[in-house]
Structure 1
Amino acid sequence: MALRFDDDQNPFIDLGQGRKIALDFAEYSDKASLDKASDELRESAEVVENSLGELRELLKDDKDLNIPVNDDAFLIRFLRPRKYYVKSAYELIKGYYKMKAKQDFIVDDISVKAIRVAFEERVIQLFPKRDQFGRRIVYMEIGASWDCSKVPFSEMIRAEHALLTLLSLEPSTQLNGLVVIANFDKLSFSHLGQFTPKFMKNTFELGQHLFPLRIKGINVINNAKLFNMFFNICKRFLGQKWSKRVNFHGSNMESLHQQIDPASLPVKLGGTCDLPDYDGKVFVELLEQFQGRFDELNSYGYAKSN
């Protein structure tokens, strides 16, 4: 793995043999995507134009909220996950930035310096290939490979939020969403001590209701004996939609493959995507190329509250 730049100076990770990890901020224009956007999101030129106008009118009255209201791409990032229902998108914007205004939570500030260890330790990974439905695949180590003395759970989730923030800027991901694979192999009592109810409540509130991205599935693998204790903490915070999207596979990779095509998965998950060892330091180098984006996003929102 090595960081490189294409002819337009866009950064990507070269995996060799023509394979790469790259972010794509270009609007989709292929017929399949346009048809899917129309069918699933009600997206059309007329709907987009009308929704942007209506949303700007609502935002004018919120004088305490600092966001770029004249930036179409910024507003569409919130309109797409709400299928262009303007009032719902407006509530999403307000809810997200009110959560961001809370002190000491994972969305209050994004910097590569604050999250680099989580990626260097490879507890959060982005797979290079999308799945059969065009969804991004994010992988999390929440078991034996997670040293919580190096990466507290709060920093793991902060790193995940930073990654998902970048992915939420990709139009194709706004359309297709993403799936998560969480590996709980050999979960221990030291890990369980990381999951405080208050933090879990805020984390699930953000993921289910306040983050502008379509999370289409959460796949739990290698759920160990202690997983039931962990899930008892979590399930009280699960809403109806996410309850239906959590899939438990144990060590049965064939079950996982019913959700995600093995062609998009590495060999360690029974997949056929032959990849080199994941180098977290190189992924940090990729993230560092987007610190300017993070700084811009950090500047938006409400004033901090206690």
Structure 2
Amino acid sequence: MSESKSPSTPAPSSPFVLFDESNTPFLILSKDFWLRFDFEEFNDSESIIKAREELRERPKVIANSLKVLRQFLGNEPKLIIPIHDDTFLIRFLRPQKYYAESAFRLIKEYFTAKANADFFLDDISLHSLKQAFVTGVVQVLPERDQNGRRIICLEIGGKWNCTEMSPMELFQATHALATLCSLEPHTQLNGVVYIINCEGQSFAQLSQFTPKLVKDMFDYWQKYSPMRTKSIVIINNMIIFAILFKIIKPFLSPKWGSRIHFLGGNIKELHAQIDAECLPARLGGTCDYEYDGAAFFEFIRYYQTEFDVLNSYGYEENN
């Protein structure tokens, strides 16, 4: 769960962003807490056993699923993706428990949505999303939860100036962080949880969440995201937010409806789902660090190259 011990032999880059011996950037949040994305394949016995039990991940299943998925993708000549890259395809196979047909459907839906410029999956530019990260409206927390899941936090109350940052930019920034997390094998296995904090939210902010926008949001999590989204926890929300959700709920599967939790100000219930030792003090947790948005943006901008590569994939445009 904890990833707070700093890597050895760091090379300085800025007061907050360092590089380890493998030239991987990491962000210093305090003397005890740091953040780093880990794209290395897991090889610990606990993860291997969990992958086998929960995802059917065995050598023969992997090989057969990759073979069948490539056969399906061969019938999509206008879809430009690295079809021979096992790592890329496994990113879509793991959340579908290695069922090739389901993974193929996910890939098609993901890149069809990506081709829609009015949706969240359009090309990712960290520069254009800078405000969302610098202001701390969209964050990934340094600690995984007690189940090894990444925690992504959206601050859509007092931190969010909705006159300067549109809901589209907010969710594009969320998608950017989710994309980085989805490249981590440990996160592919354990999944991600979202905490949406509405503390200090005004009616002007709430009015930004039209039924269509909320539906698009949940469509992303339910249909298009190559991620095991395990839970979406909404705290300090107005009652009307839960009422708005009821309009959208019929469009969700029963499984997805059960993963969305409106807790209001019940922090004890939040801690019943996510251990307090995984959370910062502002969420009632015990992690002692201050989240510096400017430092976080300095850290995340090192990943623009990865986004540029991912941005190049998709369906060819019709001439």
Please indicate, yes or no, whether the TM-score normalized by the shorter chain is above 0.5: yes
1:6 aligns with 2:27: no
Q: Which residue is equivalent to 1:104?
A: 118
Shift, 1:232, TM fit: 4.1
Structure 1 unaligned blocks of 5 or more: none
Q: Which residue is equivalent to 1:174?
A: 188
1:129 aligns with 2:143: yes
Percent identity between the aligned chains?
48
Q: Which residue is equivalent to 2:204?
A: 190
| Secondary structure of 1:112's aligned partner | coil
Please give the alpha-carbon distance, in whole angstroms, between the structure 2 residues aligned to 1:148 and 1:188: 10
1:19 aligns with 2:33: yes
Please give the alpha-carbon distance, in whole angstroms, between the structure 2 residues aligned to 1:201 and 1:245: 15
Structure 2 unaligned blocks of 5 or more: 1-14
Please give the alpha-carbon distance, in whole angstroms, between the structure 1 residues aligned to 2:213 and 2:241: 18
1:280 to 276, 286, 293: 293
1:66 aligns with 2:80: yes
Q: Which residue is equivalent to 1:120?
A: 134
What are the Cα deviations for residues 28-63 of structure 1, in whole angstroms up to 9, with x where unaligned?
000100000000000011111111111111111110
Provide the alpha-carbon RMSD of the alignment. 1.5
Aligned residues: 304
Q: Is residue 28–residue 171 contact of structure 1 (8 Å, CA) maintained in 2? A: yes
Q: Is residue 118–residue 124 contact of structure 1 (8 Å, CA) maintained in 2? A: yes
Residues 239-248 or 69-78, more deviating = 239-248
| Secondary structure of 2:154's aligned partner | strand
TM-score, normalised relative to structure 2? 0.91
Residues 293-302 or 187-196, more deviating = 187-196
Please give the alpha-carbon distance, in whole angstroms, between the structure 2 residues aligned to 1:38 and 1:88: 18
Q: Is residue 198–residue 234 contact of structure 2 (8 Å, CA) maintained in 1? A: yes
Please give the alpha-carbon distance, in whole angstroms, between the structure 1 residues aligned to 2:287 and 2:224: 33
Please give the alpha-carbon distance, in whole angstroms, between the structure 2 residues aligned to 1:58 and 1:69: 10
Q: Which residue is equivalent to 1:86?
A: 100
Alignment of 1:128-147 (within 5 A): 128-147=142-161
What are the Cα deviations for residues 273-303 of structure 1, in whole angstroms up to 9, with x where unaligned?
111x211111111121011100000000113
Partner amino acid, structure 1, of 2:293:
G
What are the Cα deviations for residues 212-236 of structure 1, in whole angstroms up to 9, with x where unaligned?
0000001111112442454345434
Partner amino acid, structure 2, of 1:212:
P
TM-score, normalised relative to structure 1? 0.95
Q: Is residue 103–residue 304 contact of structure 1 (8 Å, CA) maintained in 2? A: no
Shift, 1:152, TM fit: 1.2
Q: Which residue is equivalent to 2:221?
A: 207
Partner amino acid, structure 2, of 1:295:
D
Please give the alpha-carbon distance, in whole angstroms, between the structure 1 residues aligned to 2:142 and 2:294: 16
1:291 to 296, 301, 304: 304
| Secondary structure of 2:47's aligned partner | helix
| Secondary structure of 1:104's aligned partner | coil
| Secondary structure of 1:16's aligned partner | coil
Residues 121-130 or 240-249, more deviating = 240-249
Q: Is residue 191–residue 227 contact of structure 2 (8 Å, CA) maintained in 1? A: yes
| 1:88/1:216 CA distance change after superposition, 3 Å | same
What are the Cα deviations for residues 81-132 of structure 1, in whole angstroms up to 9, with x where unaligned?
0000000000000010000111232211101012111111111111100001
